Chain A
Amino acid sequence: MTSGLRRAVWTVVLVVASFLITALILRVSGYSVGDVFSGIIQGAITATGASTSSIRWAIPLLLIALGVVIGFRAGFFNIGGQGQFYMGACSALAISLGWREGPAGLVILCGTLAAMLAGVLWSLFPGWLRVRFGTDEVLTTLMMSFIGALVLQYLTAGPMRNPQGTGQTAASERIPEAFRLTGGSGVSLTVLLLVAGVTVLVWLVLERTRFGLTMTLVGRNATMARWQGINVRRVGLGAFALSGALAGLAGAVELYGPAARLVTGFSPEVGFTAVVVALVGLLNVWGTVVAAIFFGGLQAAILFLPIVTDLPPPALVLLHGMVAFLVTIKFRAVRRRRAAQTEAPAG
């Protein structure tokens, strides 16, 4: 087997193991695994509108995960996709509500660009701290996520709150229907083409450009890259900017697509799930596409499940955690241990 194929098979093994462990936990706590499984199949694929719903949830995951792939390739743990996603959605909302009478195409374009810019800024600040001062980006991107969630909460409860809104959760006004790229399903030809285009573009940048190559080199060994004359700081900033732009774009697509308005704390897990998606996709663009559709399907299924069983929805967070917990286990480490055990059974 080629090493790429072996890594893919090994990852599938680990993901299946995570599912089995989670299934065991569900079984022990009294849920029928068969019911849950058939519910997942229905909710993700077979029920009416299920596959559309799976794609709808796969889209933000894919866009954010592609950003994670770029960051990880360059050797940076940009795990703040959640905040960048929120800031993107908020910026697009601000443009769309502030310029209601504008021509739809232009407003959407400006809103999308503003969203990407907001994502870039939200990601570039920790990125700049990282390359300039060596400030650890794992924690700063995470903190920027918490802050982004609070900004969203502030905007939806304060300046952008829908004055006619009822109910306890704060939500913004709806954007005009003319600005929407999809119906409530969140999937339309425009959006699919946009996402496919962006995916191909990311693949081209990563695999077919000089910038993509230098990024991979920096990620493999920054010291060596510096000796070869690569401006490591600039490459780092570029990687942070690109991944922020993708997460911001995901926010705009969410707003102009299925959401149409922003609710405080919407899609709370999408940033972390995107990290899981990128890792399961082996930091490879096409692998990430497959993983995003898979996890999008699970997300769609968990929303459908209450119809079939009374499984508490946080089970999905548990499952994502389980996958993240196990997915980076190294095949080599496991095989080496087994070899050591057979050679020295007494030890």
Chain B
Amino acid sequence: MEQILATTLRSAAPLVLVAMAGVFAFRAGIFHLGLEGLMIAGAFTTVAVGDTTGSVELGVLAAIGVCLLLSALYWWVIGPLGANVIIAGLGLTSIGLGGTAYALGAIFDVRGSLFTDVVLPRPVRDVTSGAGVIIAEHSIFVWITPLIVLAAWVVLRRSRFGLRLAAVGEYPFAARSAGVNPSMVRLQAILIAGALCALGGAELSVGALRNFTENMTNGRGFIAFVAVIFGAWHPIGAAFAGLFFGFADAIGIQSQINITERVPREFVLMIPFVLTIFAVWLGGLWRRRSLEAEAGYAELREPDF
């Protein structure tokens, strides 16, 4: 049981970090399907730069830099250049997945996985029994994730920027007449999302593990996005949804060890995706009750090419 809870925290942390990114994008009215690509770009850059320089701090900073740059490009393409949000987002995901796998071969001459010695600091270590196992061996990012969730909540709820973001997401026309530039507010939200994805990717590669593997995000960016919808695009709600998906993941990992003989591994791996469909369905039902949100939401996805 302790082991399952510990694995839950470890699986949930990257999901929650990326879900916070999704919350910021969603509040700005952006259906951000590039989260997966940003996440894997962050994971790769952390390992690549961290391993080359031997400093995990530099690795994380570089990851944030790369993700900010990619996010700025994404904003430029969907904002001023008017590209379709969903298609460009999926393109960004492919750029991330393909680009990192390409760079792995081109720079490090490796196919598959790149192992590294750098790792994020782990505040609590060497606990082997009792309830302490739950909090042991987690990277510093797992510890700061609740703080980031709280910070996101405060920023969205209490700050001038948060209120502008809400206005831009729900009714850009009103925001514009109040003297707010929706495009600039969206840029800020996308940049925040990019930085958070970098943290989530770094946690995945050097927090929970010590390597970068091709396609290691394995749909987590999309699952985090669903956590946003499941959590009604509220930071706390999305965090709990992320925690829940982390729990499902932990059960999956645990049952792979214990019950593989009876249940094929693939069916266990399907659990998050099936739950995701269920969550989108439920989230959709919930969404219908809130008309304003529906309006803001519909605006993002007019299929206009």
Contact = CB atoms under 8 A, between A and B. Distances in A.
Contact of A328 (B87, B97, B111): B87
Contact of A142 (B111, B222, B270): B222
Residue from A77, A143, A147, A151 with most neighbouring chain B CB atoms (10 Å):
A143
Contact of A133 (B73, B285, B305): B285
Interface string A174-192: 0000000000000000000
A321 B276 contact: no
Interface of B: 31, 33, 37, 73-74, 77, 80-84, 86-88, 90-99, 101-107, 111, 214, 219, 222, 225-226, 229, 264, 266-267, 269-270, 273-274, 276-277, 280-281, 284-285, 287-288, 301, 303, 305
Contacts of A324: 87-88, 90-91, 94
Contacts, number: 165
A240 interface: no
Interface string A117-141: 0000000001001000111101110
Residue from A79, A154, A324, A333 with most neighbouring chain B CB atoms (10 Å):
A324
A321 B99 contact: yes
Contacts of A146: 219, 270, 273
A325 B92 contact: yes
B94 to A, nearest CB: 3
B273 A328 contact: no
A317 B239 CA distance: 32
B273 A143 contact: yes
A144 interface: yes
Contact of B90 (A126, A158, A275): A275
Contacts of A283: 305
Given A219-B303, A333-B81, 16 more contacts: A29-B102, A129-B281, A133-B284, A135-B284, A140-B281, A143-B277, A150-B266, A154-B264, A275-B87, A314-B105, A321-B37, A324-B87, A325-B73, A325-B92, A326-B83, A328-B305
A334 B88 CA distance: 16
Given A318-B102, A329-B77, A272 B276 contact: no
A320 B37 CA distance: 13
A314 B102 contact: yes
B273 A147 contact: yes
18 contacts: A72-B303, A76-B303, A77-B303, A129-B281, A136-B280, A138-B31, A147-B273, A150-B273, A153-B266, A219-B303, A283-B305, A312-B102, A312-B106, A316-B98, A321-B99, A324-B94, A325-B92, A326-B77
Given A138-B86, A143-B277, A325 B95 contact: yes
Given A142-B222, A314-B102, A320-B98, A272 B90 contact: yes
B82 A332 contact: yes
A317 B92 contact: no
Nearest to B303: A75
A311 B77 CA distance: 28
B87 A143 contact: no
Contacts of B222: 139, 142-143
B266 A151 contact: yes
Contact of A279 (B277, B284, B301, B305): B305
A327 interface: yes
A31 interface: yes
A317 B101 contact: yes
A210 interface: no
Contacts of A150: 266-267, 269-270, 273
Contact of A138 (B33, B88, B270): B33
Contacts of A316: 98
Given A154-B264, A279-B305, A330 B95 contact: no
B267 A154 contact: yes
Contacts of A314: 97-99, 101-102, 104-105, 214
B76 to A, nearest CB: 10
